[in-house]
Amino acid sequence: MHIALGVRADGGKEILGLWLEQNEGAKFWLRVMNELRGRGLEDLLLAVVDGLKGFPEAILAVFPEAMVQTCIVHLLRQSLDFVAHKDRKTVAAALKAIDQAVDAAAAEAALAAFEAGTWGQKYPAIGQSWRRAWGEVVPFYAFSVEIRRLLYTTNAIEALNAKLRRAVRARGHFPTDDAALKLLFLVLNRAEKEWTMPPREWSIAKAQFVVLFGERFTRAMA
């Protein structure tokens, strides 16, 4: 089951859809993006995604003006997959210099320093994975620290996934796909009713989104 979670210009969250699909891939997400466009999603300013190959391209194929940002926490976790357990804490600390950099230039310098250092030399796959994703990492540095907290992770969707998993475990099994969809729809509907307030950083975020996105954002606020 795959979910798209949207955040409106007023900071409110909304489930855009759920899809039952055997394989998650770029073609599937392209179909999802086209479906959302067809259902009336007029514009997508910023998409925060995991590391799925082809996902950014699928988004940009339908919403070419969108800014696509990779989940930094996902990238950090992926980096630690290359690391021996005894080294993980030290490597994670070394990588903080990249994600906490003041801007994109400083972040790239920190990445180069990591690659040239002890841990980058011992685990070269880490630097390579960041380089491959760099185009979707850079947007992160356009924002202040407060806004970065909103964009840092896909935690909002992960929290929803956790609720869905609990519901599935409690039910045990489903005779049909429709039975599964019905239960998960009800869980998501209840979750949506709990979202009554935007994040406390949203007022700061709005001021920065106006500068970055101009009329595209103010039009959505109208």
- Tokens 């320093």 map to which residue? 113
**Tens digit of each residue's pLDDT (9 = 90 or more) over 17-43:** 988 888 778 889 999 999 999 999 999
| CA dist list (Å): 48 to 41, 86, 156, 169, 208 | 16, 31, 11, 28, 17
**Global pTM?**
0.78
Q: What is the pLDDT of residues 130-182, one digit of tens each?
A: 998 888 888 888 888 778 877 766 667 778 888 888 988 888 788 888 898 89
Of 10, 6, 15, 11, nearest to 192 (Cα)? 15
